[in-house]
Amino acid sequence: MSGDWCPTSQWHYYAATHSCFYLSTTEAVWSDAYVECQNMGGNLASIDNHAEMSYVYSILSVLLQTTVVHGSIVCDPIQPNPSAD
């Protein structure tokens, strides 16, 4: 399984859970982040475990080239996880 099913190349594939994440460096309150994710065809991400959180944190750290700020938008796509079939 690869990240080929992620919506665009701007999304990051996490192989351990066959998940895609879109990470934005834009700070937003929850309601605005929710709308932004919906507009991109996704939902606000739900981080399920420490390994997944570390993966998302590492991507944000690279994107920001600094420490992660609270309020950054993290989305995952609405389409079903292909490993669930």
Mean pLDDT of 42-57: 86
**Distance (Å, whole) CA 52 – CA 82:** 18
The ranges assigned to domains in the chain are: 3-78
The answer for 53, left when phi > 0, alpha when psi is -120 to 50, beta otherwise, is alpha
Higher per-residue confidence, 83 vs 36 = 36
pLDDT over threshold 50, residue 50: yes
pLDDT over threshold 80, residue 11: yes
On whether the CB atoms of residues 73 and 23 are closer than 8 A, the answer is yes
pLDDT in tens, 51-73: 888 888 888 777 766 544 555 55
Name the residue with tokens 């709308």.
35
Name the residue with tokens 């997944």.
52
pLDDT band of residue 13 (cuts 50, 70, 90) is confident
CATH fold for the domain made of 3-78 = Mannose-Binding Protein A; Chain A (3.10.100)
